Amino acid sequence: MSDSATEPGLILASASPRRRDLLAQIGLVPRRIVAADLDEQPLAGELPRPYAERLAREKAAHVAAMLDEPALVLGADTVVALGRRILPKAEDRDTARRCLSLLSGRRHSVLTAIALRPTAAWAEGRASERTVVSTVTFARLTDQQIKALLDAGDWEGKAGGYALQGHAASHIRFVSGSPSAVIGLPLFEVAQLLRGQKGAWLP
């Protein structure tokens, strides 16, 4: 999309470098990255899918409301769930260890919700949303293997305490759905939503 002041640009409402890199795979470079500083705690009794969808929607809407330029804001949220249980983002080693112990030898769901919100300055844009559910199965992990994954460090800030594109890949037996969604952004669905907007967003 043109970078002129009169045409909308794509704003990524996430500071995640992996989401930026994923967009680059399909030729999309955000005009700007504006992280949405929101409380990401689940609401009482909130289930994984509504939680992911709410956060993606709120991130996109929050950033869109901050901007006075014509733009389309992309918000996203990825949730790792064991049944109805939402696993946290691993911000410390103990949390990552607990997550990996829970995921060991089990199948779990990864839900990534995306939301597009136009700013008020771009009346021709329209809001749209999509949610992608993928399934990932870990092999059974020994204590030594969990320690090695923790030592590798690529669990930091990751939902469920692992990264599909990181060291955990050698222990993942099965992935069904969208690998890019498991990493953080479902590229096919992002492209489809952008194709539904006015203008030529994709190369």
Active-site residue set: 77
CB under 8 Å to 59, separation ≥6 — which residues? Answer: 13, 14, 36, 38, 75, 76, 77, 115
Residues 52 and 131 sit within 8 Å (Cβ to Cβ): yes
Residue 119 — φ and ψ, nearest 5°? -75, 165
* Sign of the CA dihedral with 105 first, then 16, 194, and 37 last: positive
Phi, psi of 130 (to 5 degrees): -155, 150
